[in-house]
């Protein structure tokens, strides 16, 4: 199921800098969540498995089954929305998993996804959004209940956590212009590809042409490709790379979100859905 992936020189350097103990593994089968039997196969390539669990009291009654599985003491690796690369620290050493769905993708893009995962592994942050929101996931669900069903709330929570991670990882990527130019260029290119999809996003939410959860995924993904010049720069020069996320998601692109985390995200959701109503 898992074989060690050969890394480019730049990726190997990034691993040494960000997560020196991590293993990068190719997966024989695609997945959203690794099936339990295959997840146990990680014991063959790592020293230890330590499944993480969370209180079920953090979950609303209608929470999706995947979220209940993640909260349980069952080894749950990966989640819907992770894309082509997933990672976990429930193993020792931690692992980055590259899925077969990326076969045929440009090497630079795949390397960027792996580099991003390595940076995330090296951060002192939860593995998934439930560990980020903790008991405040109930408040997020309550704020969104007039607009989103349980699946939509899951999608929004995942997007909000992606934005929070992006506030940390983008600073690392921005410093790679000289040391890791290929990865830097791939990071910039990924952000530029998002720009056309952001231009009309606010109006598409207003007309219902794009659901709020889908819009959140796009806008929050853009945050990890945006870099502040300085706090004193005029608004027209506020971005060095990327496009400012559209309303109402621009309020997430702040130092306050990075500092206050889940509390800020819930307050943002409450205010945002009040305005939409």
Residue 207 tokens read as: 């007309």
Angle between helix axes 137-144 and 150-174 (nearest 10 degrees) is 120
Q: Residue 263 has what pLDDT?
A: 98
All residues at 6 or more sequence positions from 61 whose CB lies less than 8 Å from its CB, including other chains: none
Region for residue 24 given its phi and psi (left: phi exceeds 0; alpha: psi -120 to 50; beta: otherwise): beta
Q: Give the burial class of 47: count Cβ atoms within 10 A of its Cβ; 0-12 exposed, 13-18 middle, 19 or more buried.
A: exposed
Three-class SS state of 96: strand
Q: Give the burial class of 234: count Cβ atoms within 10 A of its Cβ; 0-12 exposed, 13-18 middle, 19 or more buried.
A: exposed
The whole-number mean pLDDT for each consecutive block of 10 residues of the chain, a chain of 277 residues, reads 94 97 95 86 93 95 93 90 93 96 94 97 94 98 95 96 96 94 94 90 91 95 73 37 78 96 98 89
List strand residue ranges (DSSP E) for the chain, in order: 2-4, 23-27, 48-49, 85-88, 91-92, 95-98
Q: Residue 227 has what pLDDT?
A: 67
All structural domains of the chain with their residue ranges: 1-106, 128-277
Q: Residue 240 has what pLDDT?
A: 44
Q: State the pTM of this model.
A: 0.91
Q: Are 223 and 245 contacting, i.e. CB atoms less than 8 angstroms apart?
A: yes
Q: Distance (Å, rounded) from C-alpha 161 to C-alpha 149?
A: 18
Q: Pairing state of beta strands 95-98 and 23-27?
A: parallel
Q: Distance (Å, rounded) from C-alpha 252 to C-alpha 226?
A: 12
Q: Residue 232 has what pLDDT?
A: 34
């Amino acid at each position: 199921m898992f074989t060690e992936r050969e890394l480019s020189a730049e990726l190997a350097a990034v691993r040494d800098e960000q997560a020196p103990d991590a293993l990068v593994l190719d997966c024989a089968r695609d997945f959203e969540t690794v099936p339990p039997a295959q997840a146990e196969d990680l014991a063959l390539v790592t020293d230890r498995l330590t499944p993480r669990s969370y209180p079920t009291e953090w979950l609303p009654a209608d929470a999706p089954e995947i979220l209940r599985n993640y909260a349980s003491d069952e080894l749950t690796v990966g989640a819907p929305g992770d894309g082509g690369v997933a990672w976990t620290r429930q193993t020792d050493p931690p692992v980055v998993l590259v899925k077969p769905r990326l076969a045929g993708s440009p090497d630079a893009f795949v390397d960027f996804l792996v580099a991003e995962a390595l940076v995330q592994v090296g951060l002192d942050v939860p593995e998934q959004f439930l560990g980020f929101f903790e008991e405040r996931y109930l408040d997020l669900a309550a704020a969104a209940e007039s607009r989103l069903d349980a699946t939509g709330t899951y999608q929004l929570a995942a997007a909000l956590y992606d934005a929070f991670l992006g506030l940390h990882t983008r600073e690392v990527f921005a410093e790679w212009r000289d040391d890791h130019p290929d990865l830097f260029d791939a990071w910039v290119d990924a952000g530029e590809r998002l720009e056309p999809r952001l231009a009309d996003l606010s109006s598409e939410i207003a007309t219902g042409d794009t659901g709020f959860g889908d819009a959140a995924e796009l806008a929050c993904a853009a945050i990890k490709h945006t870099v502040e010049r300085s706090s004193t720069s005029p608004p027209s020069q506020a971005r060095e790379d990327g496009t400012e996320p559209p309303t109402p998601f621009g309020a997430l692109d702040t130092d306050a979100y990075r500092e206050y985390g889940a509390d800020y995200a819930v307050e943002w959701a409450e205010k945002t859905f009040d305005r939409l109503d």
